[in-house]
Amino acid sequence: MKSLPEYMMVEKLTRKMFDYQVLCLGLAAVIFVIYTGNIVFEIPLKSLTCSDRSILYVTQEGTEARFRTNLNAEKLHSVQEESGRVDDEKSLPVAPVNLTEDERITWLQKQMPKFEIFKSNNYTRQFHRRVLEFFSVDCEAKFFMTWISPAGTFGPREFLAMESLFKAHPHGCLMILSRSMDSGRGYRILQPLRERGFKVTAVSPDLASLFKDTPAKAWLDRIKSGKKDPGEIPLAQNLSNLMRLAVLYKYGGVYLDTDFITLKPFTELRNTIGAQSMETGSKKWTRLNNAVLVFDVNHPLLLRFMEEFASTFDGNKWGHNGPYMVTRVVERVGNEPGYNFTVLPSMAFYPVNWHKIHGFFQKPKTQIDSRWVEAVLLRLKREAYGVHLWNKQTSRLKIEEGSIMGRLVSKHCVICKQIYRY
């Protein structure tokens, strides 16, 4: 029989053990609630003391831990960490119009704290590891997109672009470089594709590491230090122009704009850029575009593109740092040895120009219209890898049933939900 002090000591120890188990169960319940909300939080390992492996598993990676429930579900998307929470509801600030160059630079210096995309933290610094980890699985092809807007603006048209990509490449892998889509909301947007077995994820880019050892770093440093005029054009647009070049240079693969409908596989393409416009008679290209890029790792043309971007940046001229930039560089490179790239005709990626694209959304009203639709669809099937939708001109257009776009999307979707509603 235990003495009273011994009994009290045992009772106190038992109560502590009970409280510890309750704490573990409570923590597991929190993790389960987070899990069912489609968000996993990565937190420092030092804040975790529960070791009950029957409740949750902890996988240590450096100084961080990732929770997994014992429900045998797939590893979930992560968006938050203690030192840098992502707010996916805010767009990047846009400079007011009619400012002088000095006034815009002053404006940028004051607004810089709001440019979350320029900041690095413990979570974004995992970017390189996450890219390698994601593409370590068998991928029929590697695809990248960028999204520098709130997740709430990633709409049905952008989703249709992803659907068509996976219709043509069911075993392809798509990574979206985006802080806003690397979130609980973004995860839920992508979940219908994941549920069908398609490999798609969103990853917060770390611009400091992505641009390191490239000409893009000098441009980034000047912008962040307030020594470069950002221009009147939204900085997000020019960031996307530069990010696509850097990510292909570092990792290789295919970059697609989010308003591109894929019609056939890209698997046979290498080191390719497309013409946007061509001379009618000679068929010589007159302008290129950067909405579709297919390049190997460390391709020298990508390096030249970044050099041109950084040295001639002008944020006041639309297209100067995008389509016009790639056009300037390719014109100068010409047939120089060592570049080995292909310029495809406009039918490959840009079969209709921006000022005529509206016709693709309209249903035929006459027999002549119907014959035209059939002729266009036949030619697209033979010659086009996809159709760039020129979203600035078409984002408010409805896809009419029987139209070229209606026929294309209904054939090249994988979920095919409410196509004609948008």
More confident residue, 75 or 229: 229
> How far, rounded to the nearest angstrom, does the alpha carbon of residue 167 sit from its chain's CA centroid?
18
Give the pLDDT score at 256. 98
Q: Would you state the pLDDT for residue 336? A: 85
pLDDT in tens, 23-69: 444 544 444 334 334 333 333 333 333 333 222 323 333 333 333 33
CATH class of the region 116-349: alpha beta
Confidence at 227, pLDDT banded by 50, 70, 90: confident
pLDDT at 318: 93
Q: What is the mean pLDDT of the chain?
A: 83
- Stretch 371-381: mean pLDDT: 97
**Calpha distance 144→248 (Å, rounded):** 8
Which pLDDT score is estimated for 53?
29
What percentage of residues in the chain have a pLDDT greater than 90? 70
Identify residue 382 by its one-letter amino acid code.
R
- Sign of the CA dihedral with 152 first, then 153, 154, and 157 last: positive
Q: Determine the 3-state secondary structure of 185 from DSSP.
A: helix
367-383 and 404-411 helices, crossing angle to 10° = 40
pLDDT of residue 7: 42
Q: How confident is the model at residue 376 (pLDDT cuts 50, 70, 90)?
A: very high
Measured distance CA(383)–CA(378) in Å, rounded: 9
- Domain coordinates in residue numbering, the chain: 4-76, 116-349
Q: What is the pLDDT of residue 420?
A: 65
User: What is the dihedral sign for C-alpha 101, 102, 107, 108?
Assistant: positive
Q: How far is Cα 56 from Cα 117, in angstroms, rounded to an integer? A: 33
Lowest mean pLDDT among 154-158, 197-201, 281-285: 281-285
Region 130-143 average pLDDT: 95
Residue 284 reports pLDDT greater than 90: yes
- 3-state SS assignment for residue 102: helix
- Given this model, what pLDDT does residue 283 score? 85
Helix, strand, coil shares of the chain, percent, nearest 5, are: 45, 15, 40
More confident residue, 57 or 336: 336
**Residue with the two structure tokens 């839920």:** 188
Q: CB of 160 within 8 A of CB of 258?
A: no
Residue with tokens 């807007």: 149
How far apart are alpha carbons 26 and 296 in whole angstroms? Answer: 49
The lowest-confidence range among 6-20, 52-66, 402-416 is 52-66
pLDDT for the residue 91: 79
Give the model's pLDDT for residue 207. Answer: 97
Residue 4's pLDDT band (cuts 50, 70, 90): very low
For β-strands 142-146 and 173-177, DSSP reports them as parallel
Residue predicted with more confidence, 398 or 85: 398
pLDDT at 422: 54
| 229-251: pLDDT as tens digits | 999 999 999 999 999 999 999 99
